[in-house]
Structure 1
Amino acid sequence: KVSAIEREYTALDGDRLVGTGERLTLTADQVFKAIGQSFVPAALNGSGAEVALEAGRIKVDAEGRTSLANVWAGGDCIFGGDDLTVSAVAQGRDAAESIHRALTSNGRA
């Protein structure tokens, strides 16, 4: 069970980050760990259908739709996407709402 996370401020010492000893404790009941994934666009385009890219990221419209029919994307793999969990979660919510509208609009996705 998680009750808090403790952070330590850092400072540059030459070319290294070192702890300053100053700490900050934040109460929490959940922690999402960033695992350092990297986006590999070539992995998307092996099945014959190619997703449109912009600056090496997936191009989406305002609702998160990609150039592929019935495919949405969000998070740091999309063009202009933030590398932040909260942004990716919000984009997932927005895409889910868009998917719901598409599925309930008499098949006009």
Structure 2
Amino acid sequence: MSDVRYRCLLAVCGLGVLNFLAFVIVAVAIGGDAYNGRIVGNHFYVAEHGKFTEVSEAVYTYSLWHVRSVFITHPLAMLTGYLAKMEQQARTAARRSPGRDQIGTLPNST
């Protein structure tokens, strides 16, 4: 795998982790998330562990879209993290083992 692909895997994984951390920080700050919340009339509520907090429609909409983005980026971060780890292990194994053309040859004594 090329360095560009490997770095892309790490970047996607990192962005997924950052998105999840941002979601947690915002959810704690506003009192929950819209996925567990509800709309009653013109009142918008986010929820966390059964406790509802009223928020503006804009905050509710933001929270709902952020939850949806986490549903996509979190599994993607796990997948790319796994693939990056596999690539890292393959690179380490390749560095430790001699190349095909070097099998059975004596090392240079310089």
Instruction: Return the index of the structure with the highest Cα Rg.
Output: 2
Q: TM-score, normalised by structure 1?
A: 0.28
Q: Which has the higher contact order (CA 8 A, sep 6+)?
A: 2
More helix, by proportion: 2
More strand, by proportion: 1
